[in-house]
Amino acid sequence: MREHTTSIFAEMSTLAVEVGAINLGQGFPDTDGPVEIKEVAIAAIADGRGNQYPPPHGLPQLRTAIAEHQLRFYGLEVDPQVDVVVGTGASEILQSALMALVDEGDEVVVFEPWFDIYTAGISLAGGRRVGVPMHGPGLRPDLEALRAAVTPRTRLILLNSPHNPTGIVFTPAELREVARIAIENDVVVLSDEAYEHLWFDDSAHVPIATLPGMWERTVTVGSGGKTFSFTGWKVGWASGPPDLIGAVRVVRQHLSYVSGGPFQYAIAHGLGMPDAYYEDFRAGLARKRDILSTGLADLGLGVIPPQGTYFISTDVRPLGYPDGLTFCRELPRRAGVVAIPHQVFCDDPDIGAPYVRWAFCKRPEVLHAALDRLRAGLGR
């Protein structure tokens, strides 16, 4: 695990505190989710429903709410008894799935740049990661490289759409190609859909499990933290066929056993909220995206138009910087703002080097203040 010792988030957050920088590095919203969801958690504490161990694979009401959510949004028929597992955030579910499904020496194919915990999870499972680049003008997944990367040693393709850190959403055509490769090679897809409700314009999220032949080979992961803006609560889940979910359950129950009783009641309530909640949530975030992406483009950065997630990726080369890591290490002192370089999420430095990730899930006044600082600090 030595290679996983340092974290760019720790480095940048320390630097942010030191110089009083605005932290657009870490992806968490600075406003809470709906009050009615909080009230359910508070009530579950006050009336004693949520204060002792909930059932190991998740509160039955929450498992039912997850199944109903998959049917309502995606037409997927999920049995809450055997097709669902609840855990301590999408994070624990992802790591459990990797440990459950990957054996010593198995290869896990993962798109580069990746979400930071994947590589540690692959190491914990004793697996070997094989990167597939997202590159070119729109940072699209290189599906020819994916086809070449999948071999008889491949156990799993780790998919993440909407994608962190790039901010892109895989198109239906891209998903169909991923599915084709998975089916032809008989591999499982672990699909991290933490940002399933955070997509914009016409980039609607499509779960790969909805494609023909995919339900039976896909573990689909969701996050209550991301969907309801309660990232500190750590309620996540997976759905999928009983053999795969059964395996994830075995590992997960020996990690945290159970988690967050009151929060499970609250997230179950949230999943049943009307469509207006989801639409307003997206619209509010789209406005923040527009503020930051317009501002960053005006500074001369090369903005990759974000189709989903909390993040905007920009190319820093137009500002004369050789790479994103240099840019991000200088930025807090130079401009009082923190961002995160893609290259720490890549094995191949060429893939991520030019790009930097900025979080826009912040109040408009914070985004405007950050842009003011950037204009002053970068002399624009």
Ligand X SMILES: *Cc1c(COP(=O)(O)O)cnc(C)c1O
**Helices (H), ranges, the chain:** 8-19, 35-46, 60-74, 89-101, 117-124, 143-149, 172-184, 224-228, 242-253, 261-271, 275-298, 324-335, 349-352, 364-377
| Among the residue ranges 84-92, 99-107, 351-359, 370-378, the one whose residues contact ligand X (CB under 6 A) | 84-92
* Closest separation in Å from C-beta 252 to ligand X: 13
Nearer to ligand X, 121 or 133 (CB): 121
CB 276 within 8 A of CB 284: no
End-to-end CA distance of the chain: 42
CA 191/CA 215 separation, integer angstroms: 11
Q: Interface with ligand X includes 223 (CB under 6 A)? A: yes
Q: Interface with ligand X includes 89 (CB under 6 A)? A: yes
Q: Interface with ligand X includes 226 (CB under 6 A)? A: yes
Q: Interface with ligand X includes 215 (CB under 6 A)? A: no
**DSSP assignment of 287-318, as one string?**
HHHHHHHHHHHHTT-EEE---BSSEEEEE-GG
* Closest separation in Å from C-beta 363 to ligand X: 19
Question: In this structure, what token pair is assigned to residue 188?
Answer: 């499982």
**125 Cβ neighbours under 8 A, 6+ residues apart:** 98, 99, 101, 102, 103, 106, 108
Q: Interface with ligand X includes 29 (CB under 6 A)? A: no
Q: Interface with ligand X includes 238 (CB under 6 A)? A: no
Among 90, 102, 149, 211, binds ligand X (CB under 6 A): 90
* Closest separation in Å from C-beta 377 to ligand X: 27
**DSSP assignment of 112-153, as one string?**
ES--THHHHHHHHTT-EEEEEEEETTTTEE-HHHHHHH--TT
Nearer to ligand X, 69 or 299 (CB): 69
Nearer to ligand X, 117 or 299 (CB): 117
Nearer to ligand X, 215 or 310 (CB): 310
CA 187/CA 292 separation, integer angstroms: 39
**DSSP assignment of 87-98, as one string?**
EEHHHHHHHHHH
Nearer to ligand X, 89 or 354 (CB): 89
Nearer to ligand X, 270 or 336 (CB): 270
Nearer to ligand X, 229 or 321 (CB): 229
Among 70, 91, 166, 218, binds ligand X (CB under 6 A): 91
Among 83, 112, 174, 192, binds ligand X (CB under 6 A): 192
* Closest separation in Å from C-beta 318 to ligand X: 27
Question: In this structure, what token pair is assigned to residue 115?
Answer: 């979400």
Interacting residues with ligand X (CB under 6 A): 89-91, 115, 160, 164, 192, 194, 223, 225-226, 231, 234, 236
